[in-house]
Chains A and B, each alone.
Chain A
Amino acid sequence: MIVTDLPELPCRELVELVTDYLEDRLSPIDRARFEAHLTECEACRTYLEQFRETIRVLGRLPEESLSPEAREALLTAFRGWSRL
C-alpha cells in the first residue's frame, strides 16, 4: 500500500477520529491516513497531545468522599449486616 495514494484526511475530520485512533478502532486505511496527516501537521499533533493530556488528568481527579454522617450511617448498616 502506498500511503501517498490515500485520500488526505483534513484536520477537521481528524479531530473526530481521535478516540477511535487511541482505542485502535480505525480501519488500517484510516489509521494510515491519520498517521500520515500527523507527520505533516504540527497543529494536529498538538491537538492529539492535548487530548491525551485531558484523558490523563481525568484519570487523576481525586475521589469525592462521603460526608462523615453518610459514612457513619453506612458503617452502621455494614455492622448490622455482618451480625446477620
Chain B
Amino acid sequence: MLRLALSHVESRAVAEEVVQDAWLTVLRSLDRFERRSSLRTWVLGIVVNCARSRARTERRIVTTSSESGPVVDPVRFLPANHPRWPHHWAAEPTEWRTPEAELLVRETRSVILDAIDALPSTQREVVLLRDVEGLQSTEVCNILRITDTHQRVLLHRARSRVRNALERYFAATEAT
C-alpha cells in the first residue's frame, strides 16, 4: 500500500500522508462500500485515487509514454533478412544460475524496486496491483478504469522491464 503511494509522490513522508489520507477516506466512506468488489480492492482503489490527486497537487508529471516499441532490445535479434533464422535470438538469454532464494536477497530486491521506480506511472500502478499486491485483472481494471487489453499491455511492458533489469544485473555480477 505504501509502495503504491510511493509510486506517485516524491518522498516517503508524503507517501505516508497519502496512506493516512486514504485510510481516513476509507473510514469516512465505509457506509458507501458496496460488495461488488472485495474490501481490499476497494481500499487499494482509494489509495490510488488519493495518491493520484496528491501527485496532481504536487504537479508531478504523470508519465504514460513508452507504451509502444519492442520490449526486448532489437539488437538482441537477427535481422529480418537473415537467410536461416530471421528474427531469432542473436544474443540468447542465458539461464540465471541464481537459486530463487537468492532473488530475494537485499541486492536483488533493490534492483527490482529500482526497475519498478523507473517505470512510467501507469505501468507501475498495474504491476504493483497485479504482481505485487496480487489482485485479479478485473479488479485492477476497475480500480484504474482501463480496459483489460490495455491492462495487459501495461503489465507486459512492466514485467519485461523488470526482467531486463534482472538480466543486466546478473550479467554484471556473473562477469565479476
Contacts and interface: CB of A to CB of B under 8 A. Distances in A.
A57 B103 contact: yes
Contacts of A55: 131, 159
Interface string B77-88: 100000001111
Contacts of B16: 66-67, 70
Interface in A2-55: 10-13, 15-16, 18-20, 23, 25, 41-44, 46-47, 49-51, 53-55
Instruction: Describe A's contact surface by its main secondary structure.
Output: helix
A64 B2 contact: yes
Interface string A50-84: 11011111111101111100100110011001000
Contacts of A60: 104
Contact of A53 (B96, B127, B152, B155): B96
Contacts of A15: 70-72, 160
Chain B at the A interface: SS class: helix
Contacts of B100: 53, 56-57
Contacts of B24: 77
Size range of the chain B interface in the assembly:
35 or more
Interface string B153-176: 001100110110011000000000
Contacts of B39: none
A13 B86 CA distance: 11
B23 A11 contact: no
Contacts of B85: 10
Interface in B141-160: 152, 155-156, 159-160
A66 B19 CA distance: 9
B115 to A, nearest CB: 10
Interface string B123-147: 0000100011010010000000000
Given A23-B137, A81-B27, 12 more contacts: A10-B86, A18-B160, A43-B92, A50-B163, A59-B131, A63-B2, A63-B3, A64-B2, A65-B2, A66-B16, A77-B24, A78-B23
